[in-house]
Chains A and B, each alone.
Chain A
């Protein structure tokens, strides 16, 4: 498998960059009718980017991601490029500024080839909540790719690009990475700027890379991470130079991982055998495994489904039909209240409305103490529980990323609670702000990809990625390609 650094090493001028982009676009043209990973792919914008990159390469600039075709989730603002957030509310929205992560990718020489499909406002676990239709899993077209970064994950799995950006509020990078058989990193809260990310739940949202391997994830992360004066929660912790070349990072010795007992209560039957095999593979590379009890882990999902909708109800108040929204004539409305209510009711999808309602309810007078306050207490308790585990010498907490493999499209759409359960093992990292990584770990009994998740102490991305690299050196799971990638051109 080609790595990003191998791919970009051959790029020294406009035409070598254009060749990579052309390859990516051909694949998009061929597979997109079946997969629907993208919401837009703007050829004019691609040409402009290539022109700009060509000039910079000619002037001798050395760029870490020179000519790398990249997919960006459609909730990240790119100036002048339609950013819909998967919502009809933002159909046609042309951001007047760039997200910091896009500025950094552009500065490193990456070329945007498409904006990825997603659950509307990142609310969902299957990409079925996109207002523009679902994405299909490249491993099985009748299945979901996971969500909310399902378009990003499916695009990388299908070979549109070696890297995509996703965002993770409760598992939205890791769960689709697991469902699509790729690697996905949710960095420590504050590691990557949220400036220009359309907010869902501000205390939980993080941007991160989706790639084939840990080595590639580390390289993209090295570009994304760092302090940004435009994000008050961003961290100025220095970054290790090993991220740029993860192969150079020394292997970890005497690593011990903690497996929460809750895993065995949540894991589906058809994912069990694969998980046991993955544990053996870890033991074989010298990793010690111990079962632990993580208090409050099973309450994490409840706390998450209080906090995330509460923050969303507040963040999404800005969609008032006045500053954003589809064009209208003001004389169509009797007053401002009617304009706002009709716009919101018409152009938000049902899951978004459901979460706004839930969040408004749990924050309303008389319920705040019972729900929001207690959820924030669980958050503290959970963080303390994780810190206690790390203080016993565990490098990370190990779980399967999801209780089971990708489900069939439509299977869970009528049951919000069943859908929410697919986040059971991922939300803790968002509530605690800790970094977490999902890596491919084999297949379910029906042949669908599964992932392993590592959750480490704050700012331990290098340890997580290094361990993942060692696992990927010893196992072939991340090299598997979905059957669709071998389809011949039609």
Chain B
């Protein structure tokens, strides 16, 4: 391996995109692991693929329409049943606006 395929800074950037964070030593180890994996899959760079179409699906499928009928879906209770935090029948998340007038529940 002469030139490295991925740098520590790139790994940090990708982690931000993936909404993950790591300890400093984990970032270092991950950089080496990703380097090794990217090296292992580098055979992709060498195969002759000119003119080969990229697969867009597994097998061959045509779009299939269903009848536009109303059918029961998940109830609100069911949809919220596995949420880490709920309030007023909604998913609860940390405040995204700074304090505005009052602290009233949504209507």
Contact = CB atoms under 8 A, between A and B. Distances in A.
B59 A357 contact: no
A96 B74 contact: yes
A326 B83 CA distance: 8
Contacts of B17: 360, 364
A324 B63 CA distance: 31
Interface in B33-55: 33-34, 36-37, 40-45, 47, 49, 52-55
* Size bracket of the B interface: 35 or more
A337 interface: yes
A203 B58 contact: yes
Majority secondary structure, A binding face? helix
Given A380-B54, A383-B55, A416-B36, A299 B43 contact: yes
B40 A417 contact: yes
Interface stretch (A37-45, A47-55, A302-310): A302-310
A381 B74 CA distance: 41
A475 interface: no
Contacts of B30: 354, 357
A356 B15 CA distance: 9
A380 B53 contact: yes
B22 A345 contact: yes
Most B C-beta atoms less than 10 A away, residue of A335, A340, A348, A377: A377
Contacts of B44: 299, 302-303, 306, 370-371, 374-375, 378
Given A96-B74, A306-B41, A420-B40, A458 B59 contact: yes
A110 interface: no
A317 B18 CA distance: 8
A420 B83 CA distance: 34
Most B C-beta atoms less than 10 A away, residue of A338, A340, A417, A431: A417
B93 A374 contact: no
A325 B64 contact: no
A188 B82 CA distance: 33
A345 B58 CA distance: 32
List the 6 shortest-distance A-B pairs measured between CB atoms, nearest first.
A96-B78, A376-B54, A433-B58, A302-B41, A379-B55, A360-B18
